[in-house]
Amino acid sequence: MFGSLKLKHKIFAGFISVGLVATAIAVFSYGTFNLVSTNFRIFVNSSNSAQLGLLLARDVSEIQRQALIYTYEAHGSAAEQVHELYRGMSDTLQKSSEHESEYIKKIRAHLKAYMSTFEQLQKQKQLQHRLVYNDIRTSASDAEKHLRSYIKLISNHEDHTSLLQDERILNTLLLVEKNAMRYFDSLDPQYIGEAKENLAEVRKRLQKIEANDTSKAAMDHIRPAMKEVVEYERVFLEAVARTRGYLFLVNVVMAAEAYEVLYNAKLMSAQISQEMGEIEQGTFSMLQQVIGTLVVAIGISLLLVVILSLLIGRSITNPIVSLTTAFRALSKGSHHAEIPVYEADDEIGHLTRAASVFKEKNRQTEQLLDHKKQLAKELEGNKKELERSNDELEQFVYTVSHDLKSPLVTSMGFIGIIQKLAAQGKLEEAVEKLDRVVKSNERMGQLINDLLDLSRVGRVDMDKIDIDLNELLASFHEVHSQQIEKAEFTMQIEPGLPVIYANESRILQLFENMLSNALKYAYNPAGSVLSIGSKEHDDAYLVWFRDNGPGIPEEYHEKIFGLFYRLDPETEGTGIGLAVAAKVMKFHNGKIWVESSPGEGATFWLSFSKNEEDSE
Amino acid sequence: MSEQTKRTILLIEDDKDHAEITQFHITDHAPDINVVWLSDGEAAINHIVKEHALSNGAYPWLVLLDIKLPKYSGHEVLARLKSDETLKKIPVVMFTTSNVATDVDKAMIRGANSYIQKPMELGNFGSVIAKIIDYWSLDQHRLIFEKLNKP
């Protein structure tokens, strides 16, 4: 996953991923808390609105109280208070108009209605005030004035009884005023009835007087008094009606409006508190949810960071661990150490390449060591070969000296005997011995020739060519047919002989030695047969010479290839033939050996390497 | 020299001519000495052992031993003779064409009684044989031989 990234990039990637996760968590948290704070603002606003409801309720109670005070007391300050409160409430409503609800509109409408009713009430009150304190007083005092004038007139000439009755009317009239004032002060309807009764009584007495008295005085004063009383009653009734009107206004209309305001304020409060509850609930559940999400998000992020760190860490440590193992192996000189594949061009990449270089050096060192061992082995081989060669040379010198001296001893010995016999006069005997001397000398000549032959192998005429053994052996057979026949031998050559790369004259010398050995040692009275054949191996051609003679005991299988070694001293020969054969085979990088057991004949194997031509 | 202890020289020699020359000179110098000629080492050892068993203590007076022999070499025959408590009393004269130091050393170490090179000079062969016979005919050597062949 991180294999191709550079080390520092991996580390940067790690830090950046951690930073990104932290930023993501921070952004998410910020968003969440922003939402919470928005909700909180809404909540605070709602709370303010709820406050407004309470404020309105308080003000409505107050304004109603002031209105009532004004109604009963008619204090101007109370009216002022009402107006003041109204302005205050209007301001409050105005302020909260930014989120104007249905309720606020209604409250405002009702407040307006309340105020207009209050203004109407004020007018009614002023009117009633004027009627009560002006018109009623005027009518009452006019009627009283007329009655008093009448009473003054009649007191001059009337009896005391009628005077008394007249004064009673006056009193009743005063009673009317008293009851009217009581009513307007207490607003108790009972006083209205009493005032009406009083007025009815006044009017009845006046009509009685009018009917009884037809005097000018009566005409002049009772009639206007009557008129005033009627006026009085009308004004009084109007004042009552006015009073009742504004009482209706204040007790019914304004109370209803105030109630409406309160009701709407209450509804508004209820709605707000419901909204607040919803917001609170929403905020709370959202907060719960957000906290849950946040915990999960942080958990997942941390898990991701941990996994990422592990991956990055492992992608850094794994190659280092492998490299350490590789270096440990390399430091021990191994060149089989497994070097991890690492492609990024960073510090670990450099180490990996260094390890490869180490490995290559180790391999070269190993090769050099191998080469050195090989050289040492070759040197050892050469040394052995040299030693063997020296030994051979020593052996050669020894044998030559011995075997060449031998005929000399013989000739000198026989000559000495001949001299002695001659001195004794045994001439015939002496002459007989001469032949022995000749033979011995001939033998010495033969030895010298054979030794020259042996020394010639590998020294003279060394050219090699491809030789078809089928052809060579056929002509060989023909050339030696007489010799073979004379020795009572049969020679059989099997077909399919190989073509070998060799020196023809040496090979012929070898074959001649093989043939002469066979004729010399492998005679079989029952019919001697020498057969020649071949066999192919992976890397060599094997040519065999097989006889049916007496065979060779195993202990002589190696000795017979030694110089001057003769199995039977009685047979003629110098003991050089097989030594020459061995040397010829060695010259061709081949081998010669014998397989035989007494009575079973003998097989001589000649092995010619197939790669002889290539090794030249 | 008593009658019953006739001297025998055991000639161990593979070269027929050399054997003939040696035999001629022994007979020429001491006609009373019997010569037994054996042409290889194996035959020589067998002969000594067999002969002694058959004729009840007839040991040769002297052994003339060539070195270069078929089958067992002269050195091997010498070692065989000199490793036997009785046979080692028989004098063994190495008689060979070889004069190389290794052959001489080897023979002396294995207990050869003397080492004589076959003469190549004209007329020397007879005198060398005569000297060998005369030397081993001295009294001190004769006594050992007689003691050895006592029945």
Question: Looking at the complex, does the CB of residue A566 fall below 8 Å from at least one CB of chain B?
Answer: yes
Beta strands in A138-274 (DSSP E): none
List beta partners, residue A540: A609
pLDDT score for B18: 92
Question: How high does pLDDT run on average in chain A?
Answer: 82
Distance CA A240, CA A235 (A): 8
Whether B1 shows a pLDDT value over 60: the answer reads no
pTM higher than 0.80: no
Distance CA A352, CA A358 (A): 10
Predicted ipTM of the assembly: 0.89
pLDDT score for B52: 66
For chain B, report the end-to-end CA distance as a whole number of angstroms: 16
Distance CA A128, CA B116 (A): 195
> Are A552 and A596 a contacting pair, CB within 8 Å?
yes
Of A225 and A439, the structure prediction assigns the larger pLDDT to A439
pLDDT score for B107: 92
The rounded percent of chain A whose pLDDT value lies above 90 is 6
Which residue is closest to A439 within chain B, CA to CA? B17
**What is the torsion angle, in degrees rounded to the nearest 10, for the CA atoms of residue B23, residue B24, residue B28 and residue B32?**
30
Average pLDDT rounded to a whole number, residues A363-369: 89
The amino acid present at B1, given as its one-letter code, is M
Instruction: Count CB-CB contacts under 10 A for residue A271.
Output: 17
Which residue is closest to B18 within chain A, CA to CA? A410
Cα–Cα distances in angstroms (integers) from residue B99 to residues A244, A404, A475, A576, A585, in the given order:
186, 13, 46, 22, 32
Average pLDDT rounded to a whole number, residues A341-347: 80
Q: Picking from A98-102, A226-230, A422-426, which range would have the lowest pLDDT averaged per residue?
A: A98-102
B chain contacts of residue A570, beta-carbon cutoff 8 Å: 16
The amino acid present at A486, given as its one-letter code, is K
DSSP structure class, residue A9: H
Whether A320 shows a pLDDT value over 90: the answer reads no
Classify the C-alpha dihedral A337-A338-A343-A349 as positive or negative: negative
Nearest CB to A409 within list B39, B68, B118: B118
Q: How many residues does chain A have?
A: 616
Q: Is A603 exposed, middle or buried (0-12, 13-18, 19+ CB in 10 A)?
A: middle
Q: Which contiguous run of DSSP H or E holds residue A309?
A: helix A255-331
Q: Is A118 exposed, middle or buried (0-12, 13-18, 19+ CB in 10 A)?
A: buried
| Tens digit of each residue's pLDDT (9 = 90 or more) over A170-186 | 788 888 888 888 888 77
Instruction: Count CB-CB contacts under 10 A for residue A382.
Output: 12
The residue among B12, B16, B68 with the most chain A CBs within 10 A of its CB, best to mutate, is B68
Chain centroid to CA A278: 43
pLDDT band per the 50, 70, 90 thresholds, residue B2: very low
Beta strands in B72-142 (DSSP E): 92-96, 114-117
pLDDT score for A2: 56
Distance CA A210, CA A202 (A): 12
Question: How high does pLDDT run on average in chain B?
Answer: 85
B chain contacts of residue A417, beta-carbon cutoff 8 Å: 21, 24-25
pLDDT score for B109: 93
Whether A265 shows a pLDDT value over 90: the answer reads no
| Tens digit of each residue's pLDDT (9 = 90 or more) over A108-158 | 888 888 888 888 888 888 888 888 788 888 888 887 888 788 777 777 766
The amino acid present at A382, given as its one-letter code, is N
Whether B72 shows a pLDDT value over 60: the answer reads yes
pLDDT band per the 50, 70, 90 thresholds, residue A393: confident
Q: Is A280 exposed, middle or buried (0-12, 13-18, 19+ CB in 10 A)?
A: middle
| Tens digit of each residue's pLDDT (9 = 90 or more) over A55-76 | 878 888 888 888 888 887 777 8
Backbone angles phi, psi at B142, to 5 degrees: -65, -40
Instruction: Count CB-CB contacts under 10 A for residue A556.
Output: 16
> Are A512 and A527 a contacting pair, CB within 8 Å?
no
Q: How many residues does chain B have?
A: 151
Whether A516 shows a pLDDT value over 90: the answer reads no
| Tens digit of each residue's pLDDT (9 = 90 or more) over B93-147 | 999 988 888 889 999 999 999 999 999 888 889 999 999 999 988 877 877 777 7
pLDDT band per the 50, 70, 90 thresholds, residue B26: very high
Whether A613 shows a pLDDT value over 50: the answer reads yes
pLDDT band per the 50, 70, 90 thresholds, residue B3: very low
Report B:97-136 residues touching A (Cβ under 8 A): 97-98, 100, 118-126
pLDDT score for A374: 92
Cβ separation A405–B120 shorter than 8 A = yes
pLDDT score for A122: 84
Average pLDDT rounded to a whole number, residues A432-438: 90
Average pLDDT rounded to a whole number, residues A33-61: 79
pLDDT score for B12: 93
Cβ separation A408–B120 shorter than 8 A = yes
pLDDT band per the 50, 70, 90 thresholds, residue A569: low
The answer for residues whose C-beta is within 8 angstroms of residue A410's C-beta and 6 or more apart is A436, A437, A440, B15, B17, B18, B21
B chain contacts of residue A440, beta-carbon cutoff 8 Å: 17
SS3 A570: coil
| B134/chain A closest Cα distance in angstroms | 20
Distance CA A390, CA A395 (A): 8
Average pLDDT rounded to a whole number, residues A197-226: 79
pLDDT score for A458: 67
pLDDT score for A159: 61
Half-sphere exposure of A528 (CA within 13 A, CB side): 23
Backbone angles phi, psi at A529, to 5 degrees: -125, 130
Whether A97 shows a pLDDT value over 60: the answer reads no
The answer for residues whose C-beta is within 8 angstroms of residue A324's C-beta and 6 or more apart is none
Whether B70 shows a pLDDT value over 70: the answer reads yes
| A409/chain B closest Cα distance in angstroms | 5
Distance CA B7, CA B27 (A): 12
Question: According to DSSP H, which parts of A425-503 are helical?
Answer: 427-456, 469-479, 481-486
Chain centroid to CA A142: 114
Average pLDDT rounded to a whole number, residues B25-46: 88
Question: Looking at the complex, does the CB of residue A398 fall below 8 Å from at least one CB of chain B?
Answer: yes
